[in-house]
Chains A and B, each alone.
Chain A
Amino acid sequence: SQKIEQNSEALNIQEGKTATLTCNYTNYSPAYLQWYRQDPGRGPVFLLLIRENEKEKRKERLKVTFDTTLKQSLFHITASQPADSATYLCALSDSGTYKYIFGTGTRLKVLA
């Protein structure tokens, strides 16, 4: 069955450092991979989308890579700030269906 794993349940880093979150998947060939931020008691907020034929995407301090050979995506937040503390979810979808399967998330805490 399809499986998505995010590297760790929780990650603490010091302010100003780069946070790197990992999303690995098995038994799946997604066309789209997305990263979301979710704060407690709130719905997910879309951050970045990367397609199967793209290697890297950037948006301000965020960078996503997508390696379909390794079946892995890396999500980087550079110059991290305490306000970046949240749970980050990766989600994968087939082309055309928009039926996204979500990972369990990584709780990031940026320490001042």
Chain B
Amino acid sequence: GAVVSQHPSRVICKSGTSVKIECRSLDFQATTMFWYRQFPKQSLMLMATSNEGSKATYEQGVEKDKFLINHASLTLSTLTVTSAHPEDSSFYICSARGRVDTGELFFGEGSRLTVL
């Protein structure tokens, strides 16, 4: 299956700093990528849809100025958590569409963010 790589897998930062998480599709071109957030023992919550070359579409309640998403190429999307606070600590996961019209979605390994 298609491979999606996410980096870093773990990051610890101080409150007030910004953190960038990268999501790469390694063996296919992903016109659309999705960013999710997952709290312990809870399900994945869709944060935004990232389309290559255009602005991301954010879900209701997600601050776009807080979570900056850039999809500069067909294989890379980045999520930047700006001015991070302890409540932003979470597991962030990206995914990408597979082949056209299959409905399949492939996920990265996730990034654990801890804000001190």
Contacts and interface: CB of A to CB of B under 8 A. Distances in A.
Contact of A43 (B49, B93, B97, B102): B93
Nearest to B33: A98
The 3 closest A-B pairs by CB, nearest first: A32-B103, A43-B107, A43-B110
Interface of A: 31-32, 34, 36, 41-46, 49, 51, 89, 91, 93, 98-105
Contacts, number: 57
B103 A93 contact: yes
B54 interface: no
B25 interface: no
A98 B103 CA distance: 7
Question: Secondary structure of the B side of the interface?
Answer: strand
B23 to A, nearest CB: 10
A98 B43 contact: no
B21 to A, nearest CB: 12
Contacts of B91: 41
Contact of A89 (B32, B43, B49, B97): B43
Interface string B1-45: 100101000000000000000000000000010100000001111
A46 B105 contact: yes
B74 interface: no
Given A41-B110, A98-B32, A98-B97, A46 B104 contact: yes
B43 A46 contact: no
Given A44-B93, A89-B43, A100 B110 contact: no
Contact of B103 (A31, A89, A102): A31
Given A41-B112, A43-B93, A46-B1, A102 B43 contact: yes
Contacts of A45: 107
A43 B109 contact: yes
Contacts of B49: 99
Contacts of B32: 98
